[in-house]
């Protein structure tokens, strides 16, 4: 959510800020703004897209120091005034901010009593006034920012500039990501490496509680108590080309189409043909420790949570360890019992999802052993966890997760294989799963070749006011993810239920106006699934079946047939047609596919 870009160096800042903000558009936002320093602060901000902002930035908007922001509204409706940056009353201090200041109302009342004049409804404007009051007596902007932050309760990623100190930017982080970019006699900062990779691949991630001072010739980092901290730059593997559409109409279609390659990357170097086990050195656990766990608990949000449900099923089937998944957003609020013999797994594509990060921190505080499955190297969750698995899926730009979801499910298959072979999974079954995993990229290509058929079906069903998704056991999390995809990018209401639960209530909704997408793998539950289709058809419901065989026309109006793999791995393949179905339904309805309303790619606030 929201995006921050900052620059200090010999070049004009405005074009760099605008280009960086364009790279962050996928995160979700409603307004945008920039400010540069050149004999005072010059600011432009608008409700709308970065292109609207660029249209109002004049050609002579010069200055080698600046900050920019894309806002996702929390305090105050989207408007020009509520857009960031925010200035102090004397226009000396400018601030951009991601996160939420929980005590903003209390601070605002005190500042107004002291004579501060607020122009916006935002919580962020509190920061500009606090810093302005402190900077007059401080020895440095860094000192003023640190003093102001001591009065803040909440989360923040901020960038601050001072008109009277035109050579530096101060940034700070607490719960919302800030990444520094190291250039040649120039420095950058952003909330996401996407804004930096055109200019540098050398980055430094700030930890919670850290603050950094950026100048053209370098940077310094400090802990909250002003102690200097040592930071080693990382080299990111991604470059600017990874953030282009590559000739596809939308990022989402590009990312769906990349899945044969991204799954192959997730598997690369991790399958052992001698012992039929998965090599996951990043787990940082030996065999003895691995065998000591008696339960696995998986936490994630949204699509990550649904991939965790697939993972729990895989772990139970292959490793015979009790496993379950739950939303990370709820986990810490129920005061969970953290057991020493439970292995916890946190999932996040960005590695910065605040709810998941907070759950990891709670687990660590209580002594839990936590692994991470993330896509972004060096991200907060990756750094907090005891070990884990990187997906290597490449950057995912579209808000709706596709390739990261699939790679996460594959990573869980690797984890389940590893746990199983350390325990009681036979070499024969290990070989069977290894061979099945190797078949996945080719089988995903076969499914992608069905796109014309799925596009036609999407057009057929897109005008439905609501849709039901059903599946049993392995098929239920697939149904949940399919419903999620449809609702988030097409805005068609969709619900997912275990197929066996239909007759316990939801069957009352079934009729000609509510089609059902049924996940029907050719497994031991096939007959029971077909019985469910009969129940739906008997009540006039239309059925689109996704499975391994065509169905009797009496049971299904339409079928999408996908190739079979091993029974345990089939859910990975059954998810792919539902991605294409949601995509083409959204296109048919004229939706903003990559940036659906009200949503953001990286949810860094509660």
For 475-521, write each residue's pLDDT tens digit: 999 999 999 999 999 999 999 999 999 889 989 999 899 999 999 99
- Return the residue matching tokens 């899926």: 393
Residue 37 pairs in a beta bridge with 41
**DSSP SS3 for 14:** helix
540: left (phi over 0), alpha (psi -120 to 50) or beta: left
Task: Concatenate the DSSP letters of all residues of 552-602 into one string.
Answer: -TTT-SEEEE-----TTTHHHHHHHHHHHHHHHHHHHTT--SSS-TT--SS
Tokens coding 295: 């339960």
Catalytic choice (2, 301, 385, 559): 2
- CATH number for the domain running over 3-242: 3.60.20.10
Q: Are 566 and 593 in contact (CB under 8 A)?
A: no
Residue 549 vs residues 36, 556, 562: alpha-carbon distances, Å: 61, 11, 8
- What pLDDT, on a 0 to 100 scale, did the predictor assign at position 578? 98
Alpha-carbon distance values, 234 to 180, 200, 301, 454 (Å)? 10, 11, 27, 42
Q: Calculate helix-pair angle for 427-448, 403-422, nearest 10 degrees.
A: 170
pLDDT at 236: 84
- For position 515, what pLDDT does the model report? 96
Question: What is the reported pLDDT for 604?
Answer: 62
Cα–Cα separations (whole angstroms), residue 599 to 2, 85, 299 = 11, 21, 20
Active site residue 2: yes
State the DSSP H helix or E strand holding residue 93, giving kind and residue range, or none if neither: strand 93-98
Is CATH 3.30.365.10 the right assignment for the domain spanning 246-425?
A: no
d(CA 489, CA 592): 7
Catalytic choice (254, 403, 595, 601):
601
Cβ atoms 372, 385 nearer than 8 A: yes
3-state DSSP of 256-287:
HHCHHHHHHHHHCCCEECCCCEECCHHHCCCH
Enumerate helices (H) and strands (E) in the chain, giving the number of each.
18, 27
Q: Give the N- to C-terminal CA distance of the chain in Å, as an integer.
A: 11
Other CB atoms closer than 10 Å to residue 10's CB: what's the count?
Answer: 9
* CB 124 within 8 Å of CB 86: yes
* Contact assessment for residue 157 and residue 335, using Cβ atoms and an 8 Å cutoff: no
**Which residues are bridge partners to 545 per DSSP?**
518, 559
Spans of the chain below 70 pLDDT: 1, 240, 600, 602, 604-606
Protein fold of 450-593: Rossmann fold (3.40.50)
The Cα–Cα gap between 156 and 160 comes to 12
68 forms beta bridges with: 5, 34
385 catalytic residue (yes or no):
no
Burial of 423 (0-12, 13-18, 19+ CB in 10 A): middle
Write the DSSP string, 97-143.
EES-BTTHHHHHHHHHHTT----SS-STHHHHHHHHHHHTT-SSHHH
Residue 182's alpha-carbon distances to 159, 234, 541, in angstroms, are: 16, 10, 59
Delimit the domains of the chain by residue range.
Answer: 3-242, 246-425, 450-593
Given this chain, do its domains 3-242 and 450-593 carry the same CATH topology? no
pLDDT of residue 26: 73
**Amino acid 371: pLDDT:** 97
**CB-CB contact of 30 with 599 (8 Å):** no
Nearest to 432 by CA among 409, 408, 455, 416: 416
d(CA 106, CA 499): 50
Rounded Cα distance, 20 and 240, in Å: 11
* Residue 12 DSSP SS3: coil
Backbone φ and ψ of 243, nearest 5°: -105, 10
3-state secondary structure of 333: helix
CA 30 – CA 82 distance, rounded (Å): 10
- 317 token code pair: 């089937």
Residue 28's contacts (CB-CB under 8 Å, 6 or more residues apart) are 1, 72, 399, 595, 599, 600, 601
Which residues make Cβ contacts (< 8 Å) with residue 550, sequence separation at least 6? 556, 559, 561
- What is the C-alpha separation between 468 and 591, in angstroms, rounded? 21
Query: Which pLDDT value is given to residue 605?
Result: 62
Question: What values do phi and psi take at 73, rounded to 5?
Answer: -60, 130
* Cβ–Cβ < 8 Å for 419, 319: yes
Cβ neighbour number for residue 569 with a 10 Å cutoff: 25
């Amino acid at each position: 959510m929201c995006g921050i870009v900052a620059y200090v160096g010999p070049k004009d800042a405005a074009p760099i800020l605008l280009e960086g903000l364009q790279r962050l558009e996928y995160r979700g936002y409603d307004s945008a703004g920039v400010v540069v320093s050149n004999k005072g602060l010059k600011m432009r901000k608008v409700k709308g897209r970065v292109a609207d902002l660029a249209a109002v930035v004049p050609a002579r908007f010069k200055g080698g120091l600046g900050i920019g922001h894309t806002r996702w509204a929390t305090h105050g409706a989207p408007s020009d005034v509520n857009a960031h940056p925010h200035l102090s009353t004397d226009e000396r201090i400018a601030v951009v901010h991601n996160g939420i200041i929980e005590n903003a109302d209390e601070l605002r009342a005190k500042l107004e009593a002291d004579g501060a004049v607020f122009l916006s409804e935002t919580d962020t404007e509190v920061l500009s006034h606090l810093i302005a009051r402190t900077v007059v007596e401080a020895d440095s902007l860094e000192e003023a920012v640190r003093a102001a932050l001591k009065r803040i309760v909440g989360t923040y990623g901020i960038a601050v500039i001072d008109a009277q100190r035109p050579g530096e930017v101060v940034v700070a982080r607490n719960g919302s990501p800030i990444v520094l970019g190291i250039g040649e006699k120039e420095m950058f900062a952003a909330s996401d490496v996407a804004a930096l990779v055109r200019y540098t691949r050398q980055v430094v991630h700030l930890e919670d509680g850290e603050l950094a001072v950026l100048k053209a010739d370098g940077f310094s980092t400090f802990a909250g108590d002003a102690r200097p901290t040592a930071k080693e730059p990382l080299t990111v593997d991604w470059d600017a080309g990874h953030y282009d559409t590559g000739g596809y109409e939308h990022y989402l279609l590009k990312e769906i189409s990349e899945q044969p390659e991204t799954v192959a990357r997730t598997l690369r170097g991790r399958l052992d043909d001698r012992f039929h086990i998965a090599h996951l050195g990043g787990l940082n656990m030996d065999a003895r420790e691995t065998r000591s766990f008696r339960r696995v608990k998986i936490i994630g949000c949204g699509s990550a949570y649904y991939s965790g449900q697939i993972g729990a099923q895989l772990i139970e089937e292959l490793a015979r360890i009790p496993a379950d998944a739950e939303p990370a957003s709820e986990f810490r609020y129920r005061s969970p019992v953290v057991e020493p013999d439970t292995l916890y797994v946190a999932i996040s594509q960005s590695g910065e999802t605040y709810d998941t990060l907070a759950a990891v921190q709670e687990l660590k505080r209580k002594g839990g052993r936590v692994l991470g499955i993330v896509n972004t190297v060096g991200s907060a969750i990756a750094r907090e966890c005891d070990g884990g698995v990187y997906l290597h899926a490449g950057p995912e730009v579209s808000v709706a997760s596709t390739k990261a979801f699939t790679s996460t499910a594959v990573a869980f298959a690797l984890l389940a294989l590893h746990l199983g072979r350390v325990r009681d999974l036979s070499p024969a079954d290990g070989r069977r799963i290894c061979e099945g995993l190797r078949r996945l990229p080719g089988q995903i290509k076969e499914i992608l070749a069905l796109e014309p058929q799925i596009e036609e079906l999407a057009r057929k069903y897109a005008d439905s006011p609501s849709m039901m998704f059903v599946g049993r056991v392995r098929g239920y999390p697939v149904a949940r993810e399919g419903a999620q995809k449809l609702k988030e990018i097409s805005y068609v209401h969709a619900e997912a239920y275990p197929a066996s639960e239909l007759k316990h209530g939801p069957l009352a909704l079934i009729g000609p106006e509510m089609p059902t997408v049924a996940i029907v793998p050719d497994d031991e539950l096939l007959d029971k699934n077909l019985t469910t289709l009969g129940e739906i058809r008997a009540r006039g419901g239309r059925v689109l079946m996704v499975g391994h065989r065509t169905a009797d026309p009496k049971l299904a109006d339409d079928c999408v047939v996908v190739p079979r793999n091993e029974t345990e791995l089939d859910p990975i393949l059954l998810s792919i047609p539902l991605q294409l179905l949601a995509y083409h339904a959204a296109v048919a309805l004229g939706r903003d596919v990559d940036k659906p309303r009200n949503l953001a790619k990286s949810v860094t606030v509660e």
